[in-house]
Amino acid sequence: MKRRQAQLSRGECGCRKGVSPVRRRRLNRPPRETKLDSRSCNNKDCRFCEARLYSGISKKQVNEIRGHLSYSQCGPRKILFRAGDPATDLFVIREGQIKLTRTDIDGHEHLISLVGAGYFLGFDTIGNPLYSYSAETLAPTVYCRVKHSDMMRIIRQYPKVSLNVLLAVNEQLAQARSLIRVLGKKSATEKVAALLLSVLPPHFKGEDDTPQALHLSRIAMAEILGITVETVSRNMAELRRQGIIDAPRGSIVIRARKRLRALAGVPLRTAS
C-alpha cells in the first residue's frame, strides 16, 4: 500500500505529480526549428520574373532558366545571409519585407535599406566573393533563389537576360539616389512619403490602386530618414488622417499610392 501511494505521489512513470507521461514527452520535446520551404520554381505566372528576367526571350529559354531557380518561403526574422558570407546566392523577392544592415567595428548594427517585392537582392555582388551587408526578413517572405555561378552562366549564355538584370539593378540604384536627394531637401512629411514609396512593390500596367501592406516600424523609418521617432509618428498620423495610409498593429497599409507619390514628389517605379 505504501509503495502504491509513493507511485501515485510521483506519477506512474516516475515524473512529477500531476504530469501525465504524454505531457511529459511533449514538455521534453526539443523546440521545432524554422525551416525554409524550398522547391524548384514552377510558377509560370510570377510577374516579377516575367517582367524582370524573362522579358524578350523565348519560352524554351525561360524554361531552361527556370530550372536553375528554387522557390522558397520563410517567416520573419530569418537571416538570408550575413555580411562577410560567401556570395553564393542571388534572390528575386516576390512577397514580404527585408531589412539590409551593416555592422560597424564596435558591433553596432546600422540599417541601410528596406526592400520588398520585386527587388533583386544580392545582384550587386556579381563579381564580388562576399556579401557586403546582411539581409533579414521582417515579415513572411517568398522569393526565388538562384546560385551565383548559375546566374553567371545564364548571363553569358543569354545576353538579353544580362540586359534585363542590368536594367533592374540600375532602376534600384536610381530609386536609392532619388531617396538620398529627398533626405537632403524635403520636409519630414515628404521624407516619410518617399520612404514608403521606395519599399512598395513595382506597379504594373493594368493594376488598380489596391491597398499594399508594408511591415515597417517607426524606429526603422526614423533611423533611415535621420529624424526622430516622434516626428515619424506625427507625420504617419497626418497621412492616416488624410486617408493615404492605414496603420493596423504591426503593419502599414498604403491605400492611395498616387496621392502618396504626389506628396513625395518621387517618380514611382514601374515594371512595365
Cell of 73: 518561403
SS3 179: helix
| Average pLDDT of every residue of the chain | 77
Instruction: Specify the pLDDT at position 203.
Output: 55
pTM summary value = 0.67
198-252: per-residue pLDDT in tens?
887 765 444 445 677 787 888 888 988 889 999 999 999 999 999 999 988 777 8
Of 34-48, 90-104, 174-188, least confident by mean pLDDT is 34-48
> How far is residue 197's CA from residue 258's CA, in Å, rounded to a whole number?
10
CA distance linking residue 196 with residue 20, whole number of Å: 52
The separation between the first and the last C-alpha atoms of the chain, rounded to the nearest angstrom, is 83
User: Which of 40, 257, 34, 248 minimizes the C-alpha distance to 137?
Assistant: 34
Residue 80 scores a pLDDT above 70: yes
What pLDDT is recorded for position 13? 42
pLDDT for residue 23: 45
Q: How far is CA 76 from the centre of its chain?
A: 9
Distance of CA 125 to the CA centre of its chain: 18
Q: Rounded to whole angstroms, what are the CA distances from 183 to 72, 166, 176, 238?
A: 34, 26, 11, 19
What residue type is 214 in one-letter code? L
User: How far is 190 from 149, CA to CA, in rounded Å?
Assistant: 41
Three cell numbers at 102? Answer: 551593416
Kindly tell me if the per-residue pLDDT of 50 is higher than 70. no
Helix (H, G, I), strand (E, B) or coil at 68: coil
As given in the structure block, the three cell numbers for residue 158 are 543569354
- Work out the angle between the directed axes of helices 148-157 and 159-185 (0-180°, nearest 10): 120
Residue 180 has pLDDT above 80, yes or no: no
Instruction: Report pLDDT digits (tens) over 97-133.
Output: 899 999 888 888 888 888 888 888 988 887 789 999 9
